[in-house]
Amino acid sequence: MLGFISARQVGLDDPLRLRRAESTQRVLSLELNKDRDVERIHGSGVNTLDIEPIEGRYMLSGGSDGVIVLYDLENLSRKPSYTCKAICTVNHPDVHRFSVETVQWYPHDTGMFTSSSFNKTLKIWDTNTLQPADVFNFEATVYSHHMSPVATKHCLIAVGTKSPKVQLCDLKSGSCSHILQGHRQEVLAVAWSPRYEYILATASADSGVKLWDVRRASGCLLSLDQHNGEKSKASSEAANTAHNGRVNGLCFTSDGLHLLTTGTDDRMRLWNSSTGENTLVNYGKVCNESRKGLQFTISRGCSPEFVFVPYDSTIAIYTVYSGELITVLKGHYSTVDCCVFQPNFQELYSGGRDCNILAWVPALREPVPDDDTEKQCLNPAYEDAWSGSDDEG
């Protein structure tokens, strides 16, 4: 580390390499922190978490009890041991009568957030008043929704419901602008590309994953095929399957070049989001019995990047591009349904059916005596972060 710092000071090295190396080492040392708790509010399982991207300070949670909680993650006490307090709890009649499945901050401002529920609604909230600014009603149960993190030319929210049709709701007009048709069963997960504002990925119980350009009215761009068969025309793309079970999780890598999917066939697959090619990375068995959406997350700013996946009552950490299982985080007493990564401090928060939200933070490093330096062994995944051949451009 001292070598990285001195090389950066004299201009021999890109500062990004130091940042990547430190971020990677911190992720590799994630552990359940005995000095940090998240206040327990939910009376039943925690389904969804989201940390706002502006400051990385405020976190939303949504539970099976229909309650939404807003937490402040900052340590205001300045003491080593502290509890992340709930700033407010939204549980009045204006909230959702049934399980809250997805919460998301407005990507450009903490003054607004969204929530969707099994009560067939998507609600837009004013953070300051904690009152709904708008409500979208649907004819079917809502499983998932997502706003684009990079959109500047549209304000569309993609919504996946028990209907096979993907709904696009326009915040500007307050109505559903159009519908994407192509799936044959309920849509369990939706995700906008972080690279192209008009590209949307959707996952369904029909074993299919589709990529859409929402400006096109003629159908999807790609229907992902786990067997990498010959490129299908639109007429036969319905036969393509991404998994051999329900596909209930989607997550783009931070650069938007790849897409990770999870299914109830206990598999996770990595796809080239431009070509739709299955990269055939083998993650082994990734246990997944969820009947609804599964929220997993990917690191940002590491080398290599890592994916954090709920696995029964644990969270499995894999390298994204090689599929190596790095470690398993154990702490929950019941099934984990969601996790979210905080890239500023390389922290992970997870929610489970035990009603708990756990904070996983990098372990403090003990000073190493000079004569023991040679005895240290690097985690194989970490060696990539120190390689001089990395293209950090």
Structure tokens at 214: 């929402």
What pLDDT does residue 91 have?
77
The reported pTM is 0.89
Closest CA to 33 of 298, 348, 322, 360: 360
Which is more confident, 387 or 60?
Answer: 60
As a whole number, mean pLDDT of residues 122-149 equals 94
Answer whether 200's CB lies under 8 Å from 191's CB. yes
CA gap 298, 253 in Å, rounded: 6
| Amino acid making up residue 156 | L
| Amino acid making up residue 257 | L
CA gap 11, 23 in Å, rounded: 21
Pairing label, strands 82-84, 36-38: parallel
What pLDDT does residue 16 have?
80
> Which string of b and e fits 332-347 if b means at least 16 CB within 10 Å?
beebbbbbbbbbeebb
Answer whether 156's CB lies under 8 Å from 214's CB. yes
Please report which confidence band the pLDDT of residue 93 belongs to, taking 50, 70 and 90 as the band edges: low
CA gap 275, 362 in Å, rounded: 36
**% of the chain beyond a pLDDT of 90:** 73
66 CB-contact burial (10 Å; exposed 0-12 / middle 13-18 / buried 19+):
buried
pLDDT of 370 over the 60 cut: no
What pLDDT does residue 8 have?
74
As a whole number, mean pLDDT of residues 327-352 equals 96
Taking residue 270's Cβ as centre, other Cβ atoms within 10 Å add up to 22
What pLDDT does residue 237 have?
55
Q: What is the Cα 95 distance to its own chain's centre?
A: 23
Structure tokens at 140: 């079917």
Which is more confident, 374 or 53?
Answer: 53
Please report which confidence band the pLDDT of residue 316 belongs to, taking 50, 70 and 90 as the band edges: very high
Answer whether 288's CB lies under 8 Å from 294's CB. yes
> In whole angstroms, how large is the CA radius of gyration of the chain?
21
Closest CA to 59 of 46, 77, 78: 46
Which is more confident, 82 or 177?
Answer: 82
CA gap 298, 283 in Å, rounded: 14
Q: What is the pLDDT of residues 224-249, one digit of tens each?
A: 999 998 555 444 555 799 999 999 99
Please report which confidence band the pLDDT of residue 221 belongs to, taking 50, 70 and 90 as the band edges: very high
CA gap 388, 171 in Å, rounded: 46
Length, in residues, of the chain: 393
H-only helix segments in the chain = 2-9, 15-28, 380-386
Structure tokens at 142: 């809502």
> Which string of b and e fits 106-118 if b means at least 16 CB within 10 Å?
bbeebebbbbbbb
Task: Tell me the average pLDDT of the chain.
Answer: 89
CA gap 298, 284 in Å, rounded: 18
What value, to the nearest 5°, has the Cα angle with vertex 123 and ends 103 and 186? Answer: 70
What pLDDT does residue 230 have?
54
**% of the chain beyond a pLDDT of 70:** 90
Please report which confidence band the pLDDT of residue 12 belongs to, taking 50, 70 and 90 as the band edges: confident
What torsion do the CA atoms of 62, 68, 74, 76 make, to the nearest 10 degrees?
A: -150
> Which string of b and e fits 214-227 if b means at least 16 CB within 10 Å?
beeeeebbbbbbbe
What pLDDT does residue 219 have?
87
